[in-house]
Structure 1
């Protein structure tokens, strides 16, 4: 990895603080992320798809961890809330991909006065790049789980409690694996 002061050949992601080699990737991002970090996120998706039998159950968790770590200051209020909702449902309630996506739909259709959630100055230490470069499938799986937990736990208690309360209020109990 390059040092942060090597600005000619690297970038520092404003969301996760990952220092990544500068690339020519033409993508744009809706997140508070450099295009290089968004490219890493895409590569992680590719790794996940290539190992779908093993990692498919973490698909929504990966999306939500990235979203909760890269909250754009001008993002619609629903975005960070949904990312944190997905982390909460997976990590604390045992819900899988389909239950989380269904909960997002239920919530979007039953509420519209979303609170503005303010991320902490640093949303965890691990990044999508750390997950991608962790090694083989076993290491990627365990690092992704640690990354998601770290992102969730880095948010202030009050913000996480807001997400818990809104989720329990709006999402039927059947979408939670355990109580």
Structure 2
């Protein structure tokens, strides 16, 4: 994929608002994302895999940041709730990959009245493209955490509080690290 600075025709991602050069990547309805942004997300996953020793602990955080930044109106309500739950658990409770995935499983099996959340018009400044192109592995690591925090902070306080309450009510405290 070319950088957004190239002179190729670009397409704006409806989720993160990144302007990315057009590609032939197939579209998908799960996320409110352009094919180009989905391609970047795939490249970021590839980069994470290449640097699994350094970045593997952020795998779920990457998934949740992208999911919370690209909420689709056609998506079941559980999707945005789980994405925000993962951001909350990592950023505010210090929980890692396994704790968040376990929380998702517990929540899915013990609750079914998921609220419909409407994302804010801008869900963070940083995008998956910014993270992918941050520089060194350490720079990507720092950018990914900053990206996730920006996405979490961009959601309305009422939605954040709802996620906190749902998580605390449904997830055993042993899955929180702080």
Regarding TM over 0.5, the answer is yes
Is 1:51 equivalent to 2:48 in the alignment?
no
- The structural deviation recorded for 1:167 is 0.1
- The structural deviation recorded for 1:35 is 0.7
Q: How many residues align?
A: 175
Match of 1:121 in 2: 121
TM-score (norm 2): 0.95
TM-score (norm 1): 0.95
Gaps of 5+ in 2: none
CA contact (8 A) 2:23 2:36 kept: yes
Match of 1:160 in 2: 160
After TM superposition, where is structure 1 displaced by more than 4 Å over at least 4 residues in a row? none
Gaps of 5+ in 1: none
CA contact (8 A) 2:25 2:38 kept: no
Match of 2:82 in 1: 82
SS at 1:169's partner residue? helix
Match of 2:15 in 1: 15
For 2:52 and 2:11, how far apart are their aligned partners in 1? 30
CA contact (8 A) 1:11 1:36 kept: yes
C-alpha RMSD over aligned residues: 1.3
CA contact (8 A) 1:131 1:143 kept: yes
